[in-house]
Structure 1
Amino acid sequence: MSSASSSAARRLILASTSPYRRELLQRLRLPFEVMSPDTDETPHVDEDPRSVARRLALAKAQAVAMQQPDAVVIGSDQVADLHGRPLGKPVTHERAVAQLRMMRGQTVVFHTAVAVVCRNSGFEAVDVAQVSVTFRDSDTGMSDADIEAYLQAEKPYDCAGSAKSEALGIALLARLQSDDPTALVGLPLIKTVSLLRAAGVPVLAGATA
């Protein structure tokens, strides 16, 4: 059996409970399952944001692949980078306010990493998409009142940097630059497709109607 044929028969698993990543992966129309990777997402001391995203995406995929060695597993992670300072999920309203105040008028780089692992085939690869986002300043749409209105409306406490760009958060942005348009939402689909193909998954042939 060829590598591609073997991979076509393998289960595809998304190692994430994020509803955003699940919705994005559904766009490929590939049947997949979802499993929680249960990994420690604490950054290492002096670890730069890009390295954090890359390491955690791979760790998530590896954690699920250990339990499901015959499956092709996708892991992903996103870290917001404010001049080298990593910004994770705020979790609370107070932390979201603090994050957005720091980000206004600034350009923040969002590192979104994706990893694909299949233990039985020996495939393991990871890639990172970068999105450069310039936020409005307090005079052009990101005053304290604007931040509060946005947070009350969206409650984006599970989004890195409190930025939910696919919804009302777009009103906080002045400019966005990326070569992988879904990366900011949480899963860079261009890079994901490339890694799945490299793993032997026939993306278009496996798509359902």
Structure 2
Amino acid sequence: MIPTNSPSRLILASSSAYRRELLARLRLPFAVMLPELDERPLPAEAPQATALRLARAKAEAVAARAPGSVVIGSDQVATLDGEQIGKPGSHAAALAQLQRMRGRRVVFHTALCVVDAAGGAELENVQTFVTFRDLPDAELDAYLRIEQPYDCAGSAKNEGLGIAILERIDSSDPTALTGLPLIALTGMLRRAGFHFFSN
């Protein structure tokens, strides 16, 4: 049996429906609060540094508004040839992303931060290496029209039909690519006093 109680209020600092769905798998009660901050990278900032900074900033912004809570912040940055690839926002931009990435390996940096008033902030970064299939424009265009992943960095939902345009995924944490590394998170929550199973 998985208990529904927790030692303190758990909050997800995110507007992402994907992260909410992933966190719900842990069967812990949680609230959602939007961090409301500028998520643009700083000039000359390394992709991993961007993801870590934003994950921490999201968690700390919400923690400041909810004293005594344990707050989860996460951010993801995709890179190709060292250049950051953001959320496309439109069909044309998504198609251009997929055209550039086809047949190539893209690195996704998924950063995680848990802020606990008692223990401070704990940070972790998970790298996922994704190889895209070398597909023709017509297939890429058809995929985008079906799934419309315009709010996803890299323009592909691996948890949906996007898996068909991927050739390989290498990661130590299988949910990191979707936006919330649950293996890392469960360890962090255990250290914050949460329990997933009863005796």
State the TM-score, normalizing by the size of structure 2: 0.94
Structure 2 counterpart SS, 1:161: coil
Q: How far apart are 1:122 and its partner, in Å?
A: 4.1
Q: Which runs of 5+ in 2 are unaligned?
A: none
- Please say if 1:183 is aligned against 2:181: no
- Please say if 1:165 is aligned against 2:165: no
Per-residue Cα deviation, 1:134-189 (whole angstroms, up to 9, x for no partner): 1111xxxx211011101000000111111211111111111111110111111000
- Please say if 1:121 is aligned against 2:93: no
| Aligned residue pairs, count | 194
- Please say if 1:71 is aligned against 2:69: yes
Amino acid at match of 1:173: L
Residue 153 of structure 1 is matched in structure 2 by 146
Residue 131 of structure 1 is matched in structure 2 by 128
From 13, 22, 25, the counterpart of 2:23 = 25
Describe how 1:47-62 pairs up with structure 2 within 5 A.
47-62=45-60
Amino acid at match of 1:127: E
| Distance in 1 of aligned mates of 2:142 and 2:75 | 27
Identity %: 58
Structure 1 vs Structure 2 CA RMSD:
1.3
Per-residue Cα deviation, 1:71-126 (whole angstroms, up to 9, x for no partner): 000001111111211111111111111111111111001111111002x3142011
Asked whether the equivalents of residues 196 and 203 of structure 1 are also in contact (C-alpha less than 8 Å), the reply is no
| Distance in 2 of aligned mates of 1:157 and 1:29 | 29
Residue 7 of structure 2 is matched in structure 1 by 9
State the TM-score, normalizing by the size of structure 1: 0.89
Structure 2 counterpart SS, 1:163: coil
Structure 1 counterpart SS, 2:154: helix
From 82, 94, 97, the counterpart of 1:84 = 82
| Distance in 2 of aligned mates of 1:197 and 1:81 | 31
Amino acid at match of 2:136: S
Structure 1 counterpart SS, 2:11: strand
| Distance in 2 of aligned mates of 1:61 and 1:42 | 16
Residue 98 of structure 1 is matched in structure 2 by 96
Structure ranking higher in helix proportion: 1
Q: Which runs of 5+ in 1 are unaligned?
A: 1-6
| Distance in 2 of aligned mates of 1:127 and 1:158 | 23
| Distance in 2 of aligned mates of 1:24 and 1:9 | 20
